[in-house]
Amino acid sequence: MSRSRIPARLAPIGLALLAAFSSASAQEAAPIVVTGNRMPQPLTDALPHTTLLTRAEIERSQAVDLASLIARESGVEFASNGGRGAATSLFLRGAQNRQVLVLVDGVPLARHDATGQVGIEHLMLDQVDRIEIVRGNLSAVYGSGAVGGVIQVFTREGRGPVRASVHLEAGSLGFVHGSAQVGGGSASTQWSVGASAQRARGQSAIDPAVFPSVNPDRDGYRNTSANANVAHDWAPGQRLSAGLLVVDGKLAYDSKFDTPADTQDSRSRKTMLRVGSENEFGHAGTSSVQLSRQRERADDATTGTYGYVSRYTTVVDTLNWTHRFVPVAGWQAQGGVEVQRQRIDGDDGYGGGYADGRDITALFGGVQGRLGAHTLGLNLRHDRVKGGDAQTTGRADWAWGFAPGWRVNASLATSFAVAPLGYLYASGFGNPDLKAELARSGEVGLQWTSGAQVLRATYFDNRVRDEIAYDFGTNRFENLGRTRNRGLELSYSGRIGATDVRASVTSQDPTNLDTDTRLLRRAAFLASTTVSQDLGSGWRVGGAL
């Protein structure tokens, strides 16, 4: 495929979408999002390409886990090493797993062993209120890891009178799933508590007729999750909050290198705890402080001649202070400090263990506002990584509303991603001299909005240097690669009459520039459509492709 023809291939589709939807009428006001620049704003005003998935849309999708839900969105891909619960890699605009930042209520989701995985495969949707997907380079806002973008998951909170819900379902291969949620609140206090469990007996992960050496037993999956949130306004404009999410996933799998009597099991136990305070100071603005801890214990056990029991524990403590204020009418500004401590304690099961950590301290600031028909945004961040180089990143955004409901936008940004601790210190193949991966990106887009309806076309170009890969010559991780991905995204979300529609098309060219080959597990073309029809009287029918 000729790379220069990517935008041209989708241009007719884009014109058809514009013609189809530009006459649709607005039904509701645009919802508020916060992830793009940490400042609340209407979805239609967000400068980066942002998608919001509400609780209602999550329930309509009938998806069970995070990966299968967001795979329907433009620019998002995932690849799994097996069925539900197996190691899953997430790609956003072609950026690999460790270059996509995943947050849960502002808490970074991380796994610092040598797999390079983030661990989204065990995040179920029962506890999720909404999801914001922001594409593009956001290190200037969030620091390391936001090369391809940021996915933020918000857990469920209580609102209004006390409400409770119960969900039960069952399916083939021994699948059962149940959840319960209760929550509510008064004028000053809101709370929510929920729990869920699912079980599946599954089937043999590898066909024993093809590989007779594998265990022919069923390889199932179990997941138990719980969440709790509470917030209390102890005075006007003064709020304290706390939240807890616990996830326990256990998976059985097969290995074609063992015998039919051997078993293989893995287990992941995640805990995410946060406490925060948000305080308004009148014209001086609003300050928010959040202290969080994410802990994950990952175990893997294999029996037989080459059996082993491995254990890796990741702990990430983060303290973030952000102050937001209005310098002049029509403008928002913010500044803050973030301190993060990352630790890994690992044992590979063969006598190779390590326990290491590092601290990252950052200063950041940003501003966004309007000058007539133009909207401008600027974000800067400086990260000091203990044991590594300091990184300064920036992002500049511009948008021009040239007609009612229409705008053109553009951005330039730089970003970085430091190696997981396992890449640095794992016994035998870690490389403590690894440098951070560096990236720069640019994009230009056209957007039409009418109420909550959003139609957007975005051309993007992302380049990464010093990309980290395993070098089979030196038998350790090295800074080897230069990669590039450029392409065109088309997306629409909104309501036409009583029909809710979400549609996206992505054409891209994820390339290893050193070998001029397609990046592994990255597609050249992605498309999805979800349609949901309100039939009245509480009934709805829908489908997805």
**Are the beta carbons of 267 and 250 closer than 8 angstroms?**
yes
Strand ranges in 105-218 using DSSP code E only, listed in sequence order: 107-108, 128-135, 149-155, 163-170, 176-185, 189-203
Distance spanning both ends of the chain, measured CA to CA: 25
In this predicted model, what pLDDT tens digit does every residue of 134-163 receive, in sequence order? 999 999 999 999 999 999 999 999 989 999
Give how far the C-alpha of residue 15 lies from the chain's centroid of Cα atoms, to the nearest Å: 30
Q: What is the mean pLDDT of residues 33-62?
A: 92
Separation CA 118–CA 94 (nearest Å): 16
Which residue is associated with the tokens 């035998």?
428
Separation CA 407–CA 492 (nearest Å): 15
**What kind and span of H or E run contains 92?**
strand 88-92
**Are the beta carbons of 531 and 542 closer than 8 angstroms?**
yes
Query: The tokens of 75 are what?
Result: 């620019």
Confidence tier at 78 by pLDDT (50, 70, 90) = confident
The 8-class DSSP code of residue 62 comes to T
Separation CA 489–CA 86 (nearest Å): 29
Going by C-beta distance under 8 Å and a sequence separation of 6 or more, which residues neighbour residue 104?
Answer: 123, 152, 153, 155, 245, 272, 294
Give exposure, 267-284, as e/b (b: 16+ Cβ within 10 Å). bbbbebebebebeeeeee
Query: The tokens of 403 are what?
Result: 């007609």
Sign of the C-alpha dihedral, residues 438, 109, 73, 89? positive
Going by C-beta distance under 8 Å and a sequence separation of 6 or more, which residues neighbour residue 382?
Answer: 362, 363, 364, 390, 391, 392
- Please tell me whether residue 512 adopts helix, strand or coil conformation: strand
Query: The tokens of 13 are what?
Result: 């589709």
pLDDT of 9 strictly over 80 = no
Other C-beta atoms closer than 10 Å to the C-beta of 190 total 20
In this predicted model, what pLDDT tens digit does every residue of 403-426 receive, in sequence order? 999 999 999 999 999 999 999 999
Which residue is associated with the tokens 């509701």?
28
In this predicted model, what pLDDT tens digit does every residue of 206-234 receive, in sequence order? 999 999 989 999 999 999 999 999 999 99
Q: What is the mean pLDDT of residues 35-63?
A: 92
pLDDT of residue 28: 56
User: How much helix, strand and coil, in percent to the nearest 5, is found in the chain?
Assistant: 10, 60, 30
**Are the beta carbons of 325 and 286 closer than 8 angstroms?**
yes
Confidence tier at 23 by pLDDT (50, 70, 90) = very low
Confidence tier at 64 by pLDDT (50, 70, 90) = confident
The CA distances from residue 17 to 21, 448, 493, 528, in Å, are: 6, 11, 11, 14
Residue 117: name the closest of 264, 266, 301, 291 by CA.
266
Which residue is associated with the tokens 């946060």?
274
223: left (phi over 0), alpha (psi -120 to 50) or beta: beta
Mean pLDDT of the chain: 91
Confidence tier at 29 by pLDDT (50, 70, 90) = low
Other C-beta atoms closer than 10 Å to the C-beta of 248 total 17
pLDDT of 20 strictly over 80 = no
Separation CA 392–CA 208 (nearest Å): 52
Backbone angles phi, psi at 516, to 5 degrees: 55, 45
pLDDT of 175 strictly over 70 = yes
In this predicted model, what pLDDT tens digit does every residue of 348-372 receive, in sequence order? 988 888 999 999 999 999 999 999 9
Q: What is the mean pLDDT of residues 270-295?
A: 97
pLDDT of 24 strictly over 50 = no
pLDDT of 12 strictly over 50 = no
Going by C-beta distance under 8 Å and a sequence separation of 6 or more, which residues neighbour residue 537?
Answer: none
Give exposure, 493-530, as e/b (b: 16+ Cβ within 10 Å). bbbbeeebbbbbbbbbbbbbeeeeeebeebeeebebeb
Of the ranges 60-64, 465-469, 498-502, which one carries the lowest mean pLDDT score? 60-64
pLDDT of residue 538: 86
Sign of the C-alpha dihedral, residues 426, 86, 68, 194? negative
pLDDT of 283 strictly over 80 = yes
Separation CA 494–CA 54 (nearest Å): 12
**Are the beta carbons of 301 and 290 closer than 8 angstroms?**
no
Geometric angle at alpha carbon 132, from 126 and 138, rounded to 5°: 140
- Please tell me whether residue 391 adopts helix, strand or coil conformation: strand
Residue 383: name the closest of 436, 343, 422, 331 by CA.
436
Separation CA 339–CA 361 (nearest Å): 5
Of the ranges 317-326, 345-354, 507-516, which one carries the lowest mean pLDDT score? 345-354
Q: Looking at the chain, how many residues does it have? A: 545
| H helix runs in 51-117, sequence order | 55-61, 66-70
- Please tell me whether residue 42 adopts helix, strand or coil conformation: strand
What count of Cα atoms within 13 Å lies in the side-chain half-sphere of residue 363?
A: 3
